[in-house]
Amino acid sequence: MKILPLLKILTIAIAVTLSISSCTREENDSRKIASNLVIVADNEQGSYFMTKLLGEVRSAFPNIHITYLQSKLFDVTEGSFLLKTAVESFPEGTVVAGILEPGGGSRKIVFQANSRLVFAPDNTLSTRIFNDFPGTECYFVENSSVLGGQQASELALEEFYARGICSLISGIDVSKFGSLCSNPNTFAVQNPVMQGDSILGEILFADTFGNCITNIPESLIVNIPLGTTLSLNSGTTALAMKLGTTYSSVPVGDNVCFINSSNLLEISINYGNFSSTYNLFAGSHISIKP
């Protein structure tokens, strides 16, 4: 058998090496680095945890634009609404990170929904996204390759979040993060429906004034005349409210509901705090009828 000259062998080896290098470079270049990061969290932005996390993300991606959305402490249900709103509202390719984990210890998941990338604990925080985007495939964050070469157990929580988020920002496909999460944790959602003469729905969000935004759309209210007194029931809570057009449709201190700028039914007390007065908050299921 004829042996190839050494020069020819070296030439072939160099060509193969360059080909592999080129393929790897092309694969890396094909990744699209995210330019926006949205964080939904109950930690204050200036806390030690968030300072460490944001510092690591900013060190890796100095030019990324970060938006911070503060949720109420321990309120996973309200955080779920903010997480879904971020997925709906920010540009395609945005990374949305939910960092709201009462008690800690939840496994973390990543997934893509509405062309946005989501990183969150598997503690029902992603419920409203899964409700709007059924069949979404999500994956556990467990591979050391997306955690800077370390195991999750070796990292402080803020480092774990930071490294996982950085990998998502860098364009690593969600399927590379770990095994498939076939049954992510969710809470029960009451979708808006007519049931007899009643409208069923739930509260999505209570703002700092105590005004409650529901998931009931204008289409379920449109045939009810303005000025109608409606009854609302939720568990043991029962109250009456007037259908108006804004907070001042009723005297100060009275209950009112109206279709807000998002075309959803909002419930309030004029110059009062509806949420604390009636102990109704994000996740409360409600029934309304004339």
Indicate the domain borders of the chain: 33-181, 193-289
Helix (H, G, I), strand (E, B) or coil at 289: strand
Residue 23 confidence (pLDDT): 32
In tens, the pLDDT along 71-119 reads 999 999 999 999 999 999 999 999 999 999 998 889 999 999 999 999 9
- Does 3 score more than 80 pLDDT? no
Domain spanning 193-289 has what CATH number? 2.40.30.90
Residue 210 confidence (pLDDT): 97
In tens, the pLDDT along 272-285 reads 999 999 999 999 99
More confident residue, 26 or 30: 30
Distances (CA, A) of 21 to 13, 147, 170: 12, 24, 19
Residue 22 confidence (pLDDT): 30
Helix (H, G, I), strand (E, B) or coil at 1: coil
**Sorting pLDDT into bands at 50, 70 and 90, what band is 206?**
very high
Nearest to 206 by CA among 254, 261, 278, 130: 278
Residue 179 confidence (pLDDT): 98
Residue 11 confidence (pLDDT): 41
Q: Are 214 and 232 in contact (CB under 8 A)?
A: no
- What kind and span of H or E run contains 205? strand 198-206
| 34 Cβ contact list (under 8 Å, min separation 6) | 64, 93, 94, 95, 117, 168, 169, 171
Share of the chain above pLDDT 70, in %: 90
Radius of gyration of the chain (CA): 25
Determine the residue type at 147: L
Q: Which two tokens stand for residue 275?
A: 């949420």
Distances (CA, A) of 172 to 24, 29, 91, 96: 14, 11, 18, 15
Quote the mean pLDDT of the chain.
90
Say how many CA atoms lie within 13 Å of 177 toward its Cβ: 33
- Does 187 score more than 90 pLDDT? yes
**Sorting pLDDT into bands at 50, 70 and 90, what band is 30?**
low
Burial of 25 (0-12, 13-18, 19+ CB in 10 A): exposed
- Does 10 score more than 50 pLDDT? no
250 C-beta neighbours (distance < 10 Å), count: 20
Determine the residue type at 122: D
Domain spanning 33-181 has what CATH number? 3.40.50.10790
Residue 103 confidence (pLDDT): 85
C-alpha 113/C-alpha 271 separation (Å) is 38
Residue 17 confidence (pLDDT): 38
Nearest to 38 by CA among 69, 63, 84: 69
In tens, the pLDDT along 235-261 reads 999 999 999 999 999 999 999 999 999
CA 120, distance to chain mean position in Å, is 8
> Measured at the alpha carbon of residue 217, what is the angle toward residues 194 and 256, in degrees to the nearest 5?
95
- Does 6 score more than 50 pLDDT? no
